[in-house]
């Protein structure tokens, strides 16, 4: 199997992605390259299509046009095969705003689910792996609990462990800290920082500018279903090119102007 | 002076009336089992908006809910033999319709009836499952049937249990209508006993007591099952 991480091409390549809900055009032609090992933060006002873009990459929404390539897997969105969609989902992993843990299963069963059902791994092996991952996110002592017994931050850490268990090539985070109480945000960002530090390719839709600035290698700014500005993280925050980007940064960080 | 009730007779008639219990239970259990299958199929047809089948399913549910159970029992009891006889002639099968026991028609009519009622409970239970969890399963790479089996069904089952249990208890009591087709269930046996002794009141009190005891037992069982199934919610409720 060719190693997509070393052949110099971007690992994820999106071209001309379009998505409408009825009359409403949410994505108006998205082109996006993400290199292996990079962390891309997608910023933008609400309704700009950030989450829809993320969901399209995972085919939770089916785009009407465009193409995607992840490593050597190419998918033509308009006529994708079920096999390709499953393959794409297996090689990516999603972390949701609302955690979306399986509430009828224990914490460790949540992490094992994809391993046992999708990867057909033996129970013992899956349990060992899940145990290690829960250790990594600091929740070994909650293994036998049900999600209903956890705090929001703990739930999101379980969701990250569940996603990591699939050893994805790309992790997608859809506003992972937006549903959390403020004091629980850091524990989740901490785990994400650690995962990013290990070279995991990540796309993060977020409102956490601090996180985007510190952890993301690249930033894409979306508005009105288009990517308006794409830059390295330091370029983006220190020297945004577009007027709309400056406005946005100014709006959500009132003291932003003083940095310029 | 004679008392209001002949207690001695009541005690003596218990075994006779109780001999109808297995028949009542068999109607309730078999109809419940097939009713779940029918209800499940109807729920899926309605949820998936299956063309052609959907209007038929809607018509069937509407008819079942809009006509008395007793009428449905008679329609099956008198109608199915007629239809079989007709088919017998048409395809020259060698089927002896007179040998089909009356209880078989009860199984059919009660299954069809309870299936229509259960379809709505099952549909509501399937709809109650959190869409986010279904998306999470899909995003792990599960196929839609894996998602249905591993995520939707187990959670819908938990939601459906109280409704299914209540339907079962109602069905158990409704099974008494089978006496109208001379099926010897609890009420049928009570009638036979009472016809000989003319002690109708006593015989029916015995029948009522038996139904009550069975229903209480099932209610207990149901409460226990519900508690076990909702184990994962303890944290939420306890918080």
For residues B17-46, give the mean pLDDT.
96
Cβ distance B141 to A166 less than 8 Å, yes or no, reads yes
* Pairing state between β A201-205 and A170-174: parallel
Instruction: Name every chain B residue with its beta carbon within 8 A of the beta carbon of A114.
Output: 140-142
Chain A, residues 13-52, CB within 8 A of chain B, namely: none
Indicate the residue of A105, A114, A148 with minimum beta-carbon distance to B140: A114
Cα(B219)–Cα(B210) distance, rounded to whole angstroms? Answer: 14
pLDDT in tens, B197-222: 899 999 999 999 999 999 999 999 99
Instruction: Identify the pLDDT of residue B224.
Output: 92
Residue B92 pLDDT > 60 = yes
What pLDDT sits at residue B166?
Answer: 94
Domains and CATH numbers, chain A: 12-259 (3.40.50.300)
Interface test with B, best of A62, A97, A104, A170 (most B CBs within 10 A): A104
The residues, any chain, with a CB within 8 Å of residue B133's CB and separated by 6 or more, are A100, A101, A102, A103, B151, B155
Q: Averaged over B27-41, what is the pLDDT?
A: 97
**Residue in A with minimal Cα distance to B135:** A60
Average pLDDT over residues B125-151: 95
**Confidence band for B238, pLDDT divided at 50, 70 and 90:** very low
CA distance B163 to chain A (A): 19
Q: Answer whether A114 sits within 8 Å of B142, measured CB to CB.
A: yes
| CB–CB contact A166 B232 (8 Å) | no
Contact A54, A205 (CB under 8 A): yes
**How many contacts does A have with B, using Cβ atoms within 8 A?**
81
Sequence-ordered strand ranges (E) for chain B? none
Give me the mean pLDDT over the A200-222 stretch. Answer: 93
Pairwise CA distance, residues A107 & A135, whole Å: 12
| Higher pLDDT, residue A142 or A250 | A142
Residues of A within 8 A of B151 (CB-CB) are 102
pTM of the entire predicted model: 0.85
Long-range contacts at A43-48 (CB < 8 A, ≥ 24 apart) = A43/A206, A43/A207, A43/A209, A43/A212, A43/A219, A43/A220, A43/A221, A43/A222, A43/A248, A44/A221, A44/A222, A44/A223, A44/A248, A45/A223, A45/A248, A48/A222, A48/A223, A48/A224, A48/A225
> The complex's ipTM?
0.90
CA distances from B180 to A55, A211, A228, B69, B115 (A): 59, 74, 77, 11, 21
Kindly indicate the confidence band of residue B1, based on its pLDDT and cuts at 50, 70 and 90. low
Domains of chain B (ranges; CATH) run: 22-154 (1.10.3720.10)
Close Cβ partners of B232 (under 8 Å, ≥ 6 residues apart): A103, A104, A105, A106, A146, A147, A148
Burial of A198 (0-12, 13-18, 19+ CB in 10 A): exposed
Q: CB–CB of A110/B232 below 8 Å?
A: no
Cβ distance A231 to A40 under 8 Å? no
In this prediction, residue A133 carries a pLDDT of 96
Residue of chain B minimizing CA distance to A111: B140
Do A100 and B133 make contact, defined as CB atoms within 8 angstroms?
Answer: yes
What average pLDDT does this structure show over A201-216? 92
Q: What is the pLDDT of residues B179-188, one digit of tens each?
A: 999 999 999 9
Residue B223 pLDDT more than 80?
yes
């Amino acid at each position: 199997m060719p190693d997509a991480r070393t052949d110099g091409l971007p690992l994820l390549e999106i071209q001309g992605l379009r998505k409408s809900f009825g009359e409403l055009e949410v994505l108006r032609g998205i082109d996006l390259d993400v290199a292996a090992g990079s962390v891309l933060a997608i910023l933008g006002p609400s309704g700009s299509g950030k989450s829809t873009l993320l969901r399209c990459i995972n085919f939770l929404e089916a785009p009407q046009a465009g193409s995607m390539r992840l490593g050597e897997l190419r998918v033509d969105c308009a006529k994708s095969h079920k096999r390709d969609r499953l393959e794409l989902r297996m090689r990516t992993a999603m972390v949701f705003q609302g955690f979306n843990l399986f509430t009828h299963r224990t914490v460790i069963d949540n992490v094992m689910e994809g391993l046992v059902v999708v990867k057909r791994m033996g129970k013992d092996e899956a349990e060992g792996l899940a145990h290690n991952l829960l250790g990594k996110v600091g929740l070994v002592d909650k293994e036998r609990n049900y999600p209903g017994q956890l705090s929001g931050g703990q739930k999101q850490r379980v969701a990250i462990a569940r996603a990591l268990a699939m050893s994805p090539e790309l992790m997608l985070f859809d506003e992972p800290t937006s549903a959390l109480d403020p004091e629980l945000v850091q524990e989740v960002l901490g785990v994400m920082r650690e995962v990013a530090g290990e070279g995991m390719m990540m796309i993060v839709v977020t409102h956490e500018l601090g996180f985007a600035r510190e952890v993301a290698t690249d930033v894409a700014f979306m508005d009105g279903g288009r990517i308006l500005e794409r830059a390295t993280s330091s370029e983006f925050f220190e020297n945004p090119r577009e007027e709309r980007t400056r406005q946005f940064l100014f709006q959500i960080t009132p003291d932003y102007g003083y940095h310029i | 002076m004679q008392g209001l009730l002949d207690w001695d007779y009541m005690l003596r008639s218990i075994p006779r009336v109780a001999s109808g219990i297995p028949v009542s239970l068999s109607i309730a259990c078999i109809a419940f089992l097939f009713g779940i299958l029918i209800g499940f199929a109807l729920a899926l047809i309605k949820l998936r908006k299956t063309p052609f089948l959907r209007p038929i399913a809607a018509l069937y549910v509407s008819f079942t809910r809009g006509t008395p159970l007793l009428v449905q029992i008679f329609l099956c009891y008198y109608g199915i033999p007629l239809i079989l006889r007709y088919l017998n002639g048409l395809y020259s099968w060698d089927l002896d319709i007179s040998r089909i026991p009356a209880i078989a028609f009860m199984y059919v009519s009660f299954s069809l009836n309870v299936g229509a009622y259960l379809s709505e409970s099952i549909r509501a239970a399937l709809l109650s499952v959190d869409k986010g969890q279904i998306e999470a399963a899909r995003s792990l790479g599960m196929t839609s049937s894996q998602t249905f089996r591993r995520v939707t069904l187990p959670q819908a089952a938990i939601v459906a249990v109280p409704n299914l249990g209540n339907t079962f208890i109602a069905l158990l009591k409704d099974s008494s209508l089978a006496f109208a087709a001379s099926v010897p269930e609890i009420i049928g046996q009570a009638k036979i006993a009472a016809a000989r002794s003319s002690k109708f009141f006593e015989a029916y009190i015995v029948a009522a007591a038996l139904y009550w005891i069975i229903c209480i037992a099932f209610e207990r069982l149901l409460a226990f099952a519900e508690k076990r199934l909702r184990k994962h919610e303890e944290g939420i409720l306890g918080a």
